[in-house]
Amino acid sequence: MKKHKVIRIFTIASILLIQIIFLIKLVQDKYAANNRSATLTILLIAISLALGYRYVSLHHKLYAYEKISVAIWVPIGALACYSLNLHTNLGSVICAGIIGTIASFIPSISKDIAYLQKIPAAIYCGVFVGMSSSLVLPSTQFVLASGTLAGIFYMLSKKLFFGFGGKLGTIAFCGVLVVALINYLA
């Protein structure tokens, strides 16, 4: 039980840290540009975000993790979207829309198989990783690494931010940010 609690705290703390970094960078930029109204707006958003964490019950009490067989679709979705984006000039939104729409029809193959019902969300999470520009993730190896990391977060966060909008994107952002940071430091 203690192990599960540690994993839960680690996952929530990672997501919270990413959000704090994102907001701090925003405040830093706007403050440097002497844009006081924007700085104040972001600070107000940060306060309301804290209220959200305080008052909205985001997490399920049960400890549960997604299966690897489902999480494996995250890097697959990332590679599919990245390749489509790289080899066509459709733009990241259309590429993500195409892969996401195709993925959403996978459960229609057989509605009795529970496994198939879980695949679209995993692929859609991967799609967000694959939307990264080639400046951030320069090759397919980086996309695969980010996708795998996002897949691990996807596994761990099954009962966290349960059914909340933006969860999949934030998981993808965590994966991309960590790989980009390692790439920057290396």
Residues that bind another protein (CB under 8 A): 18-19, 22-23, 25-26, 28-30, 38, 41-42, 45, 48-56, 58, 78, 90-91, 93-94, 96-101, 103-105, 107, 120-121, 124, 128-133, 135-137, 146, 150, 161-177, 180
Contacts with 7 (C-beta within 8 Å, 6 or more apart), sequence order: 63, 156
Would you state the structure tokens that stand for residue 171, as one six-digit string? Answer: 């998981």
In the complex with another protein, the residue whose CB is nearer, 6 or 102, is 102
Q: Quick check: 95 and 84 in contact, CB under 8 A?
A: yes
Q: Does residue 67 come out as left (phi exceeding 0), alpha (psi in the -120 to 50 range) or beta? A: beta
Query: In whole angstroms, how close is the CB of 63 to another protein at the nearest point?
Result: 19
Contacts with 30 (C-beta within 8 Å, 6 or more apart), sequence order: 38, 39, 42
Rounded to whole angstroms, the Cα distance separating 174 from 148 reads 11
In the complex with another protein, the residue whose CB is nearer, 128 or 152, is 128
Query: In whole angstroms, how close is the CB of 115 to another protein at the nearest point?
Result: 15
Q: Quick check: 58 and 162 in contact, CB under 8 A?
A: yes
In the complex with another protein, the residue whose CB is nearer, 1 or 32, is 32
In the complex with another protein, the residue whose CB is nearer, 6 or 56, is 56
Query: In whole angstroms, how close is the CB of 37 to another protein at the nearest point?
Result: 10
Query: In whole angstroms, how close is the CB of 104 to another protein at the nearest point?
Result: 3
